[in-house]
Amino acid sequence: MNRGNLACCACALLLLAGCSNNPYPDADSATRTYYTTFVEAHRTLDPAEAYNVSAHKVTGLVYDTLLEYHYLKRPYTLIPGLATEVPVAEPLADGGVRYRFRLREGAGYGDDPCFERGGKGRRSREVVAEDIAYQLQRLADPALQVQVREPFSRIVGFRDFMTALEARRRADPAFAALPARLQYQQLGGIPGLRVPGRYELEVRLSEPYPQLLYWFAMEFSTPVPWEAVEYYDARPGRARFADHPVGAGAFQVVEYQKQSRVVLERNPNWYGYRHPDAPAARYPSEGAPGDAALGLLDPAYRGRPVPFVDRIEIRLDKEDIPRFGKFLQGYYDVSKIIKESFDQVVQSDRLTPEMEALGVRLQKAVSPSVFYLGFNMADKAVGAAAGARGRKLRQAMSLAVDSARFIELFLNGRGVEAQAPLPPVLAGYPEGYRNPYRQVDLERARRLLGEAGYPEGIDPQTGKPLRLSFDTYATSSQVLLQREFFVNEWRKIGIDVEIANTTYNEFQAKLERGAYQLYFYGWSADYPDPENFLFLLTCDMRRIPHNGPNSANFCDARYDRLFAQMEVMPNGPERNAIIEEMLAILREERPWIELFHRIDYSLAHEWISNLKPFGMSHPMYKYYDVDPKRRAELRAARNRPVVWPAWALLGVAVLGVAPGVRTFFRNRQ
C-alpha cells in the first residue's frame, strides 16, 4: 500500500472523528461564560490613561468605582458603589465645596502576587481611602498620559501639585529615582484630598462642580493598589502595570493575551459578597417604563446578588463580517448589526422571520448623543453679523430639513428626531418638547426667507438663488449622498448650497480658520448630564479664537450667564427651568439644526437574560445571565459538521488502495 494513500485515509478518518468549528475548548461549554469581542489591541489598561470603549470593556470590570449608575433607570441615575452613599456637596466659606465619601469595609482586590510585599503568600488586601487618594495623585502626575485632567483640576492644589512634581524631578535626580508613591508623599500630596480615616475620603473643590460625581463613576478615580504599580513597573521582564490590571471590581483578569483574548473570572474578594444589600451588588427591583414588558424585571432576578456569570471571555476579532458570522453560529453572545446585513436582519423595524427563527432578540436604546448641522456664526452671511436677516435665514433652513426622512433613508430608522441639543435620556430634557423650527414647514420657510431679504431664495445682489457652501469630509459615496440630501432639502426653498468636499485634515484646518458656512457634526456624552451638551455652545468653547468644540462659534451673553448658573446646580425643577430658558435661546438663534439622536441596535441570543443596552462605555456584564445548556444545544444545531467531503476523500483513498490490497493477497497466495 502506498504511503500517500495511507495518509489520505488517516486524514479522512480524523476529519470524520473530530469535525467541529467550535473555537472554544469543549470543557467551556458547560460554564456560565459570557463571550464578547474587542476590535483592537489595548494600548493600555492603566485606569489613569485608558480612555476608549475597547479598554473600558476590561477596566470597567476590573476596577470598581465609588459611584455607579442604576442599570435600568432612564434618565441615568447615580447609585453608591464602593461608597456607602452618594455624597452631597457641602459649601465652604471660601466659595469652594467639599464632598465626603465613606468606603464599604471589607472590599478586597483581586488576587495577585504583587501583594506578597505585605507578607509571604499574601494574595490580596483591603481597599482603603488612601488608595483612591493615590490614584487621584496619579492623575496629576505629568509622567502619565492622562486625558481627563481638566475636570479633576478643580480639586484644590491639583495643578500646583502637578507643577511641583515636574519641577522637583528635573531638579533632584535622587527624588526622581524614588517610586512615584514616595515622591507624592514627600511633596505632601494634593491639599484638596484628605484622608481622615481608613475608610474616609474628603475631596475639596475650589468651586462648585456637581459633575465631578460622574467622574467618580468612571475608572479614572478608582482605588489602585500602589503595590501593583510598583511591582509591575519596577523590574524589566515583568508585564507592565498597563498590561496587568489589579483592581477591586467584580471580576479579575486571569489570562491576558494582548493580541488575541482577555479572560476574566469572579473576584472572590469583591465587596458585593460582603455587602450583598449594596445597591450595585444586586439586580434592580425597579427600572424605566417598558422594562417589565421587555423581561428586564423578571421576579426570578429582582433583588438577587450579582454577578450571575462566572467568567467573561473577550476575543480580538477585527473584521466585521467574520465576527458577525461567529455571532450567528452562537460563538459570541451579543452583536451589533453590520451594515452589509442590516436588510437581511431587520425589516420594518423588526427582526426578519429568519432571525426570529434563530431565537435572536433585537435590543434598542437611545444613546446620549446628538448629530446636527451647524452654521458658522462668525460668517457674515449666515452668522451673527447678519443680525435679524441671518437669524431668519437660519430659521428658514431649519424648517426645510426633514430629519424623519433622513433617518428612514440613511439610518434604517435607527434614530430619534432631535428637537434640542439634549438627548431625551438625560435629566433636564423637557418632556414632550417640540421645537417649532424642527417641524418641516416649507411655506413658513419661504416666508422667512422673504423677510430675510431673499424672496423665493433669490439673492438681490446677484439676482440668482442664494449660494452657500457646505463643508464636509465625505469618505464614501454613501456619506456624500447624505450631504446631498440636505442640499436637496434647501433647494426646495430656492437656496443653492454647494458641497465642498475635502480631506479630514483640510476640513479641520477650515474650521480653525473660520473658512466655512455649514458643516455636519455629532457629539456623544462623556457623562449623562445636560452640562456635557450645553457647554458646546458657550463663548469660551468657540473654535475661534479658543480652538474649542463650539465649531458654530456661537456666543450669547445671556446664554452664558444661564449656563454658569445651571452648571453648578443639582438636578431638579429650578435647574430644569434654566435649561428651558437656554433651549429657548438656541431655538430662536438656530446655531444648529438638530437632526437626530442615535438609536443603538444590538442582537442577543435567547440564552442571554437581563440585557439592556447602556449607551455609554460602562460594561454592565455583571447583570447578564447565561443559560449554558441552551447555548450548547443551539450551537450544536446551527453547526452540524459537513462530513461529505471527508467521506468523499475516504472513498477516493479506498479506490486508490484497493489495487494494492488485491496485489498483496495475490502475492500471499
pLDDT (mean) for 242-267: 96
Could you tell me if residue 318 is inside a domain? no
In a shared domain, residues 47 and 11? no
**Amino acid in the structure at residue 133:** A
With a CB cutoff of 8 Å and minimum separation 6, the contacts of 202 are 98, 99, 100, 101, 193, 194, 195, 196
In a shared domain, residues 575 and 485? yes
Residue with C-alpha cell 435620556?
A: 425
In a shared domain, residues 482 and 590? yes
What are the backbone dihedrals phi and psi of residue 293, each rounded to the nearest 5 degrees, phi first?
Answer: -65, -25
The pLDDT of residue 118: 79
- In the listed set 281, 297, 320, which residue is the last one of a domain according to the structure? 281
pTM assigned to the model? 0.83
**Amino acid in the structure at residue 601:** Y
Residue 571 predicted with pLDDT over 90: no
Residue 669 predicted with pLDDT over 50: no
Residue 251's beta-bridge partner residues? 266
Which of 279-283, 498-502, 614-618 is predicted with the least confidence, judged by mean pLDDT?
Answer: 614-618
Q: Rounded to a whole number, what is the distance in angstroms from the first to the last CA of the chain?
A: 17
Between β-strands 200-205 and 97-102, what pairing exists: parallel, antiparallel or unpaired? antiparallel
Select the more confidently predicted residue: 430 or 662.
430
pLDDT in tens, 588-601: 999 999 999 999 88
Range of the domain at 181: 40-281
Mean pLDDT for the chain? 90
pLDDT in tens, 151-181: 999 999 999 999 999 999 999 999 999 999 9
Could you tell me if residue 425 is inside a domain? yes
The pLDDT of residue 642: 58
* C-alpha 296: how far from chain center: 22
In a shared domain, residues 8 and 96? no
pLDDT above 70: percentage of residues in the chain = 92
In a shared domain, residues 511 and 655? no
- In the listed set 225, 255, 281, which residue is the last one of a domain according to the structure? 281
Rounded Cα gap, residues 9 and 642, in angstroms? 18
Task: Indicate the pLDDT class of residue 15, thresholds 50, 70 and 90.
Answer: very low
Rounded Cα gap, residues 409 and 485, in angstroms? 10
In a shared domain, residues 192 and 235? yes
pLDDT (mean) for 517-536: 93
What are the backbone dihedrals phi and psi of residue 401, each rounded to the nearest 5 degrees, phi first?
Answer: -90, 120
Residue 652 predicted with pLDDT over 60: no
In a shared domain, residues 249 and 104? yes
Give the 3-state secondary structure percentages of the chain, helix then strand then coil, rounded to 5: 40, 20, 40
In a shared domain, residues 542 and 595? yes
pLDDT in tens, 178-188: 999 999 999 99
Would you say the C-alpha torsion 219, 220, 222, 225 has a positive or negative sign?
A: positive
- The helix/strand/coil state of 414 is coil
Could you tell me if residue 335 is inside a domain? no
Task: Indicate the pLDDT class of residue 659, thresholds 50, 70 and 90.
Answer: low
The pLDDT of residue 641: 66
In a shared domain, residues 403 and 448? yes
DSSP assigned state of 108 = B
Could you tell me if residue 585 is inside a domain? yes
In a shared domain, residues 534 and 596? yes
pLDDT in tens, 218-233: 999 999 999 999 999 8
pLDDT above 90: percentage of residues in the chain = 74
Residue 473 predicted with pLDDT over 50: yes
In a shared domain, residues 178 and 72? yes
Looking up residue 573, the CATH number of its domain turns out to be 3.10.105.10
Could you tell me if residue 344 is inside a domain? no
In a shared domain, residues 547 and 409? yes
- In the listed set 281, 299, 322, which residue is the last one of a domain according to the structure? 281
On whether the CB atoms of residues 474 and 501 are closer than 8 A, the answer is yes
Q: How many domains does the chain have?
A: 3
The pLDDT of residue 21: 72
Strands of 110-250 (E only): list them. Answer: 193-197, 200-205
Task: Indicate the pLDDT class of residue 29, thresholds 50, 70 and 90.
Answer: confident
On whether the CB atoms of residues 418 and 371 are closer than 8 A, the answer is yes
Looking up residue 107, the CATH number of its domain turns out to be 3.40.190.10
User: For the chain, what is the radius of gyration of the CA atoms?
Assistant: 30
